Chain A
């Protein structure tokens, strides 16, 4: 955070390498966030590029008094929403039927299939639930920070997070990924 402030100050003075340092520092977290939010790992690269392009064009003076990361995540969220509006990276819903869980032959294939199903189940969640799930579970943001980012009350976000987990529990169970039955 302190390092970010110093880099932004250098960028404000016209040092372009400071901006590049900020990009190197934040490209991975922002890329992860976008990939998980959109459910398209291949889209994350394009969107990440767009986020830093918007940040570069806005310039160092445009970021609010809050932290640089919060500003960047807000840009990322807007970029993801714009892309979803253009339906370029709309989440692909899974087929409704339960897949044949016995199909994958080896453990590695089964693991790959499980990861694919979980990723798409996350992508199937409605956007407000997906946003809070990704920011809270993966980015480890508390509900107050997410509230500042999205403009939604923290209590609403807390309830959305619980709903998201509940929906995922049901969907994953439906897809045959429920917890093993515990012995009586």
Chain B
């Protein structure tokens, strides 16, 4: 093995991740190479220093976790509700614009045309009456019914989402309530234990005081 190979294998050697054969080959090189030996010593020293670091402890506060989950769920529900209201409002505004201003948007060759109000009067030369009158583009009852059903569907969707969010919120609130009850029970048990210990200590002190 060359020094280059050994240097690449040293981190695994100090972490004891090499197979016995690999470790044997590296060790064989180390007996003859002082520079690689120094490098191994330095890396092993780093690992020893890393192992000196204390093991920190962390405890999860479950009641606080449930409480925060409920808060976030509520915020999420509120955000959805706002979004839904904004969407329905925008849709209604578009509808009003289209119907009220008789807005007309169309794309023709290389240009977009936006027009509102009544179409301009164009002098049309009198023509002989045709057997079938040309269809005049207008908003008829079917279109209005379609738009109405669209708005209803949107409103229904909002209501469904709202209901689901409320159900999820109720579940989380139930969890919070359970956790609070558990915490209360534990607190009461601890209080009783502490009271018993205090009583025992007081009894022991009193008995010691009676003795000469």
In the complex, chain A residues whose CB is within 8 Å of the CB of B192? none
The bracket for how many chain A residues form the interface is: 35 or more
A63 close to chain B: CB less than 8 A? no
Q: Which of B52-67 contact A (CB under 8 A)?
A: 52-62, 64-66
Question: Is A35 a contact partner of B61 (Cβ separation < 8 A)?
Answer: no
A28 close to chain B: CB less than 8 A? yes
In the complex, chain B residues whose CB is within 8 Å of the CB of A52? 60, 65
In the complex, chain A residues whose CB is within 8 Å of the CB of B66? 56
Q: Contacts A49-B64, A53-B68, A53-B69; is A32 near B56 (CB within 8 Å)?
A: yes
Give Cα distance in the complex from A173 to B54, angstroms. 21
The bracket for how many chain B residues form the interface is: 35 or more
Shortest distance in angstroms between B33's beta carbon and chain A's nearest beta carbon?
A: 14
In the complex, chain A residues whose CB is within 8 Å of the CB of B41? 179, 182
A60 close to chain B: CB less than 8 A? no
Question: Is A161 a contact partner of B65 (Cβ separation < 8 A)?
Answer: no
Shortest distance in angstroms between A15's beta carbon and chain B's nearest beta carbon?
A: 12
The listed residue (A32, A137, A179) touching B50 by CB distance below 8 A is A137
Interface of B (DSSP majority class): helix
Question: Is A118 a contact partner of B56 (Cβ separation < 8 A)?
Answer: no
In the complex, chain B residues whose CB is within 8 Å of the CB of A118? 49-50, 52-53
A44 close to chain B: CB less than 8 A? yes
In the complex, chain A residues whose CB is within 8 Å of the CB of B8? 162
In the complex, chain B residues whose CB is within 8 Å of the CB of A31? 56-59
Give Cα distance in the complex from A137 to B51, angstroms. 9
Question: Is B42 a contact partner of A23 (Cβ separation < 8 A)?
Answer: no
Interface centre among B11, B50, B52, B60 (most CB of A within 10 A): B60
Q: Contacts A53-B68, A165-B11, A169-B42; is A34 near B58 (CB within 8 Å)?
A: yes
Give Cα distance in the complex from A111 to B45, angstroms. 15
Residues of B in contact with A (beta carbons under 8 Å apart): 8, 10-11, 14-15, 17, 38, 41-47, 49-50, 52-62, 64-66, 68-69, 72-73, 175, 178
Known: A49-B65, A169-B46. 15 other contacts (CB 8 A): A20-B62, A23-B60, A27-B60, A31-B59, A32-B58, A45-B59, A56-B69, A137-B50, A138-B50, A158-B11, A169-B45, A172-B46, A179-B41, A179-B45, A182-B41
